[in-house]
Amino acid sequence: MKMILIILLIFGGITFSSIPVWAEQIQGPSLMKIVENFKPSNAILINADRPSSAKPIQFYDFNHDGQKEIIITYEIKAKEQPSPSQFGVMILRKKKDGNWIKLFNDQVQGVDLDFSGLADITGNGVKEYLWGVTIGAAAGSQLKVIHWDGTSFKEIAAEPYHKLDLVKGNEKLGIVAWHMYIGDSYLVDVLKWNGEKLVYDQELHSTYYPIVEKFYKNKIRKLDAWYYWYCLADAQIKANLFDEASKSIKKGKLLANKLSMSEIVQDFNDLSKRLENKKNTTES
Q: Does residue 101 sit in helix, strand or coil? A: strand
For residue 111, tell me if it sits in a domain.
yes
Q: Which position has the higher pLDDT, 177 or 17?
A: 177
- Please give the DSSP secondary-structure letter assigned to residue 18: G
For residue 137, tell me if it sits in a domain.
yes
Query: What residue numbers bound the domain in which 60 lies?
Result: 1-161
Beta bridge partners of 167: 174
Q: How sure is the predictor about 76, in pLDDT bands with cuts at 50, 70 and 90?
A: very high
For residue 180, tell me if it sits in a domain.
no
For residue 242, tell me if it sits in a domain.
no
Residue from 250, 245, 253, 252 nearest 277 by CA: 245
Mean pLDDT (whole number) for 93-97? 92
Cβ atoms of 231 and 238 within 8 Å: the answer is: no
Report the pLDDT value the prediction gives residue 24, as an integer from 0 to 100: 42
For residue 207, tell me if it sits in a domain.
no
Q: At what angle do helices 262-283 and 242-258 cross, to 10 degrees?
A: 170
- Please give the DSSP secondary-structure letter assigned to residue 90: E
Report the pLDDT value the prediction gives residue 267, as an integer from 0 to 100: 98
* Distance of alpha carbon 247 from alpha carbon 277, whole angstroms: 16
* Distance of alpha carbon 228 from alpha carbon 18, whole angstroms: 40
* Distance of alpha carbon 266 from alpha carbon 256, whole angstroms: 10
* Distance of alpha carbon 148 from alpha carbon 91, whole angstroms: 11
Mean pLDDT (whole number) for 227-237? 98
pLDDT at residue 178 is higher than 90: yes
For residue 229, tell me if it sits in a domain.
no
For residue 64, tell me if it sits in a domain.
yes
Q: Give this prediction's pTM.
A: 0.86
**Count of domains for the chain:** 1
pLDDT at residue 193 is higher than 60: yes
Report the pLDDT value the prediction gives residue 8, as an integer from 0 to 100: 36
Query: In the chain, count of helices (H) and strands (E)?
Result: 7, 13
* Distance of alpha carbon 217 from alpha carbon 236, whole angstroms: 13
Mean pLDDT (whole number) for 198-219? 97
Cβ atoms of 9 and 29 within 8 Å: the answer is: no
Q: Does residue 134 sit in helix, strand or coil? A: strand
Exposed e or buried b for every residue in 239-252, given b needs 16+ CB within 10 A? bbbbebbbebbebb
Report the pLDDT value the prediction gives residue 29, as an integer from 0 to 100: 67
Beta bridge partners of 73: 89
Percent of the chain with pLDDT over 90: 82
pLDDT at residue 250 is higher than 90: yes
For residue 119, tell me if it sits in a domain.
yes
Q: How sure is the predictor about 23, in pLDDT bands with cuts at 50, 70 and 90?
A: very low
Exposed e or buried b for every residue in 47-85, given b needs 16+ CB within 10 A? bbebeeebbbbbbeebeeeeeebbbbbbbbeeeeeeebb
